[in-house]
Structure 1
Amino acid sequence: MKPVPLAAALLAIAAPLVAIAQSAPLIVVEDRGGVSALPYYEVLDLQPRAGQMPPRLDVPQPPAGPVSETAMLPIRSAHLSPGNVERRVIQAPGLTPFFLIGDDERSHAWLRQRAPALRELGAFGLVVNVESADALAALRRLASGLPLAPVSGDDLAERLGLRHYPALITATGIEQ
């Protein structure tokens, strides 16, 4: 095999770069105008400008003592109530199964009936309406081993198009 002279190797590397550098200028096909984004960046400006004081940032202080789950109670979800949930298909690959319940007779009966299947699925529960720590403890006794957490379900209800509970949400569907 014949060695390639250094000049030929450099020319082989440089030729494409020269072609790129001499290419036609960028042509804007469409400009829809718009508004400057500068105000959005000014809000983030952390460098004080001459003659201006930097904006005051108030950082919220954590509670003084230990915080417990009881401090979150009562939980009330204004957009969710006990009722019928129509079965429907969703596509949420990788979603860990979870269920929504409240402290009401319908949820109690549903939880008693479905607890074995929920355990088998490895589902966790979100208690979206509960008044007290005693009521939450009673739900946990009914759930016997299923993890339950008190949370407001309003945002979740909006995202999933739910109005009622109890409901089971899996990677493939929503059902009662």
Structure 2
Amino acid sequence: MHAFVAISLAAGLPPVTAQTATPLIVVEDRGGTSALPYYEALAPQPEATPTPSGSVTMPQRASDADMLPVRSTRLTPGLEPRRTIEAPGLRPLFLIGDDARSRAWLKQRLPALQKLNAVGLVVNVEHATALQALRGLAPGLQLSPVSGNDLAQRLGLRHYPVLITSTGVEP
């Protein structure tokens, strides 16, 4: 059963919430070794006991407050140079922080971001109230508090706000 959860996470399937979850039906369980130890670092939860119906209780998703504060030490507010990249299939995303430059950029670029259905990563934010204020500036867009250090290293980024698409990075 744990292998199914691991495959779902690796495949990038959306998280299952209590409101949308349907009972998991185990078609075949060949035993084996539990994959749980490999995933405990991702969401340390006590092992769930299966209910008599064969369904599994999924751990609760972390709230935004649990993710805060977010500090991306590799990124600072500033002007990132425009450049071309090749990342076929990458969904448009943008990086912002809780600062005046990011708020002005978000207001200016909002129609284009909405048209692209871009996902926002808030890479520097201290409090839930600041995150909510940023979300208020971006109706219809998803904004998630996430460290941008790994992405900055992979793409050679030093500054935000920035829009990243499958073909380029633009300030």
If the TM-score is normalised by the length of the shorter chain, which range does it land in?
0.5 to 0.7
Alpha-carbon separation, structure 2, partners of 1:124 and 1:115: 12
Could you say which residue in structure 2 is the equivalent of 1:153?
148
Deviations 1:73-105 (A, max 9, x none): 000000000000110000111110000000000
Secondary structure, aligned partner of 2:81: coil
Displacement, 1:122?
1.2
Flag structure 2 segments of 5+ consecutive residues without an equivalent.
1-36, 47-58
Secondary structure, aligned partner of 2:71: coil
Displacement, 1:162?
0.2
What amino acid maps onto 1:124 in structure 2?
Answer: V
Displacement, 1:154?
0.3
Aligned residue among 42, 45, 49 for 1:62: 45
Displacement, 1:145?
1.4
Alpha-carbon separation, structure 2, partners of 1:95 and 1:78: 24
Alpha-carbon separation, structure 2, partners of 1:93 and 1:136: 30
Could you say which residue in structure 1 is the equivalent of 2:80?
85
Secondary structure, aligned partner of 2:140: coil
Aligned residue among 102, 114, 119 for 1:124: 119
Alpha-carbon separation, structure 1, partners of 2:63 and 2:163: 27
Could you say which residue in structure 1 is the equivalent of 2:160?
165
Could you say which residue in structure 2 is the equivalent of 1:106?
101
Identity fraction in percent: 63
Correspondence list, 1:36-75, <5 A: 61-62=44-45, 67-75=62-70
Displacement, 1:69?
1.5
Alpha-carbon separation, structure 2, partners of 1:113 and 1:131: 23
Count of aligned pairs between the two proteins: 120
Deviations 1:93-135 (A, max 9, x none): 1110000000000000000000110010111100000000000
Secondary structure, aligned partner of 2:169: strand
Alpha-carbon separation, structure 2, partners of 1:94 and 1:71: 30
TM-score by length of 2: 0.66
What amino acid maps onto 2:77 in structure 1?
Answer: P
Deviations 1:30-70 (A, max 9, x none): xxxxxxxxxxxxxxxxxxxxxxxxxxx7956428x953110
Runs of 4+ in 1 over 6 A off after TM superposition: none
